């Protein structure tokens, strides 16, 4: 296992000599991809591995196709409230394009890493905003008596909380990149990132409870409105976003260069795959058709 040890006072030559003497590693360096040594290149690959160009390119293509489909459906049906989902998909595309540049051009480049992390972290927040809106739209349609929270509170609280947690996460990730590029101790930056993720998991846990409670109490009314399959897709999508958030928390909790961070298989299965499934499910059961063109979240019966 590779572990980063802070040593901002040592030169690169001293660090290299210490690696040979002690056998300790200060981060991942790809022996098959020499560091170009550019102005924005870090001494190690912050990902913990060289990203796969196949995964990054496939993910960018997958999310672009779904972006086109969802946006076209939104324009056709005029369900403008679903545009946040399209925005999330285009963020995924940009993030995976940056990841492709890391994989193919320069995995040491700090800006590619920051762009990859920023857009892939922020994208699910926009997708989650669409999920929050779905529940807020379902409640008035199926019956407000089944929900433990009013629709307006659901939208305001969960979207605001996601925005706050994302700002904290992005700030922490950027600080990690800067600290590592300077060979300084990134522990505080990692703790900032961990705090943002912990709060996001906490908020998502509350949402899962609220959504599950509503669907259980309204199960007969949901079937009566012909929304059974759609609500199943909604439930699976919610759990996929929740799973992805838990993965990010566990990854950060292990610390830099932990098992989850340094193995791309985990990223593919627990970051890419869940969000890719969400895009597919909502393409099959498009919310604009299933929930309605307009969303009404007022508290009046």
Angstrom distance (rounded) from CA 158 to CA 99: 29
**pLDDT, average across residues 145-160:** 92
pLDDT of residue 170: 82
Tens of pLDDT, residues 207-257: 999 999 999 999 999 999 999 999 999 999 999 999 999 998 998 888 777
Q: Is residue 99 scored above 60 in pLDDT? A: yes
Q: Is residue 297 scored above 90 in pLDDT? A: no
Composition of the chain by helix, strand, coil, percent to 5: 70, 0, 25
Q: Is residue 18 scored above 50 in pLDDT? A: no
From 68, 60, 28, select the one nearest 44 (Cα to Cα).
Answer: 28
* Model confidence band, residue 266 (pLDDT cutoffs 50, 70, 90): very high
- The pTM assigned to this predicted structure is 0.85
Residue 277 burial class via C-beta count within 10 angstroms: exposed 0-12, middle 13-18, buried 19 and up? middle
Q: Domains of the chain (ranges plus CATH)?
A: 39-287 (1.20.1070)
Determine the 3-state secondary structure of 28 from DSSP. Answer: strand
Q: Is residue 185 scored above 80 in pLDDT? A: no
Q: Is residue 44 scored above 80 in pLDDT? A: yes
């Amino acid at each position: 296992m590779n572990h980063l040890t802070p040593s901002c006072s040592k030169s690169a030559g001293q660090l290299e000599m210490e690696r040979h003497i002690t056998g300790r590693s200060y981060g991942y360096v790809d022996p098959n991809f020499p560091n170009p040594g550019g102005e924005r290149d870090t001494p190690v690959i912050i990902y913990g591995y060289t990203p796969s160009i196949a995964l990054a390119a496939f993910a960018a293509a997958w999310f672009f196709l779904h972006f086109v489909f969802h946006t076209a459906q939104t324009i056709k049906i005029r369900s403008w409230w679903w545009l946040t989902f399209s925005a999330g998909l285009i963020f995924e595309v940009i993030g995976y394009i940056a990841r492709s540049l890391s994989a193919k051009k320069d995995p040491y480049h700090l800006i590619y890493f920051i762009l990859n992390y920023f857009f892939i972290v922020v994208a699910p927040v926009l997708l989650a905003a669409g999920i929050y809106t779905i529940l807020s739209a379902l409640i008035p349609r199926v019956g407000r008596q089944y929900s433990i929270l009013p629709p307006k509170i659901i939208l305001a609280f969960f979207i605001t909380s996601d925005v706050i947690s994302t700002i904290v996460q992005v700030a922490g990730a950027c600080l990690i990149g800067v600290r590592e590029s300077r060979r300084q101790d990134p522990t505080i930056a990692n703790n900032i990132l961990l705090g943002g993720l912990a709060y996001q998991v906490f908020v998502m846990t509350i949402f899962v409870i609220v959504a599950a409670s509503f669907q259980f109490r309204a199960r007969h009314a949901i079937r009566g409105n012909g929304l059974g399959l759609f609500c199943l897709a909604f439930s699976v999508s919610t759990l996929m976003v929740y799973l992805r958030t838990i993965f990010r928390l566990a990854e950060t909790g292990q610390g830099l260069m932990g098992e989850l961070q340094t193995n791309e298989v985990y990223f593919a299965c627990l970051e890419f795959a869940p969000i890719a499934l969400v895009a597919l499910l909502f393409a099959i059961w498009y919310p604009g058709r299933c929930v309605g063109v307009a969303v009404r979240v007022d508290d009046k019966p």
